[in-house]
Structure 1
Amino acid sequence: MAQNHELIKSTSEDTKPRRYVFVLLNEFTLLSFAAAIDCLRLANLMSGQDLYHWEVVGETGDEVSSSTGVRFKLDGGLDELRRDDVIILCGGRAVAANTSQKILNWLRRESRKGVVVGGLCTASYTMAKAGLLNDKRATIHWQNQDSFTEEFQDVELTKSVFQVDGNRMSTAGGTSSIDLFLHIIADNHGEELANSVADQQIYSSIRTDQDTQRLSIPTRIGVRHPKLSRVIQIMETNIEDPISPSTLAKDVDMSTRQLERLFRRYLNRSPKRYYMELRLQKARNLLMQTDMSVINVALACGFSSPSHFSKCYRSHYNTTPYRERGALASRLSI
């Protein structure tokens, strides 16, 4: 990093340091945490002022493991905080299993003081479980959106990279932590300082809460064909009640045969097969991330019977839904 930099003074008259308390859940995502805390470090460096303090805590008060297996020594446990502190929950893998009753009770107690609470990556689950996101807008990593929507119907879930609603904040994970914390720094101390922090991180495309977290369909599938993209979008938003290929073709002003050729040419599979894979992918997410029964998972993914669901699942994943869930339970108990 360049050592010669111009100091960017805060535009805020109140430069009393704000303390951020990072709560690391077991198997937290390292990138999300590191990206967030580095923004605060750089804000202090680039301003030449002590704008932010932080500490890293967890349920045990001792140490915690990230999803990479790297272990972190904690500064302390779940102690009582000041009202002007900011809690940042850092989630990752198996967030439901790593959300304990102790964490939930602590969050509820601290939130009653009016403390600002944010969640990185999958930590929106923990916030929602504690009841902190009822009637709030929030986001979570795209892979967890299906299960989150099934469990927390009082939360207005968005597909944004980050979301701020009152004193609740959430991100989708990965580098979206940078976007949220640049937003916070700009709000606290001005755009010039936030841009200076982004420059130090060589982060040239700052996103807002209006940006979505996933690549566009053309980029994701590597094909720029407007009608193909539109059909895939319709499929992705109609998993529970699948639409027939003939109806899909009609929706984009094509014949069924033309649609078949389009999928074969660009994706090397039929529309029916591609649709099935989308439904099975959602089913696997629900099996791995929720306590929904296999029957309810089947219904949520457009399968009329458990036997048909099991047959299709086994053909695609080489295991049954029941064995998949059993294998997950075994791994979590180790």
Structure 2
Amino acid sequence: MKPRLFSTLRFLQHENPLGLPRAGSIPRMQRGLPQRRRIKDVKKVIAVSSAKGGVGKSTIAVNLALAFARRGLQSGILDTDIFGPSIPTLLDLSGEPRLSPNNQLLPLSNYGVKSMSMGYLVGETAPVVWRGLMVMKALQQLLHDVDWGGLDVLVLDLPPGTGDTQLTITQQIFLDGVVIVSTPQDIALKDAVKGINMFKKTGTPILGMVQNMSLFTCPHCRNSTHIFGSHSGVIHACEEHGVQFLGDVPLHASICDDADRGKPTVVAEPESDRAKNFTKIAEEIARKVGLL
């Protein structure tokens, strides 16, 4: 039986393969937190969070997934940002996913990494104008109804904030750890610390923090500048909150250009210092969760 194309709205609004409670129905689950479970056919699940938008979290997440793949691991990335998905652009992928014979979504792949995103299920310019119930239902489908076909590691690209999406994931999924991304700027670090405290309260292992856009080197005069004032803001936050510092990623035009054209740095410039930074961080994460 060949996989068939499906209607996104029909799949998310009318079909209910997971048996999720519909609006107005009595949920089967009684009081208390839902039971955590593993994502099928996935050995390790690593979330990448920032709790604040605009700090380059999605770029970090996709480069880590690509670095895992270049290390020989079966790697995937799940874009859990329902309203502002970035992974289709970062991986230069589009088109509606097909359904497998067992009625599961089949990931789209590029550069050796499997991926799933709400961005594949709606048009590139179409807004997702949904209230909380529909958002959580769509998230449930993305978490539990994708046929990953066997992965060593799945990276979850979390949306900004510490709300419903983050709580749903930490309460329902066995996370092997979370990576916090922040710039050295105080306003970003304050939100990052909120994220740290949320993951601590939910019992999620924090693998460490990545400092993004910490240093800019002028391509003309070769002088280096700390754009955000401090070069060690994330390092100090790690020391204060007992979190490991995983490494720095510089502010560089090529990282932005690579992301915009859908060929992230790890595959576009694998021998560059920037790509080596991503690879080093990915290897440290892999060691911490027992993949290396």
TM-score for the superposition, normalised by structure 2: 0.35
TM-score for the superposition, normalised by structure 1: 0.31
From the CA coordinates, give the structure whose radius of gyration is larger. 1
| Relative contact order higher in (CA < 8 Å, ≥ 6 apart) | 2
More strand by share: 2
More helix by share: 1
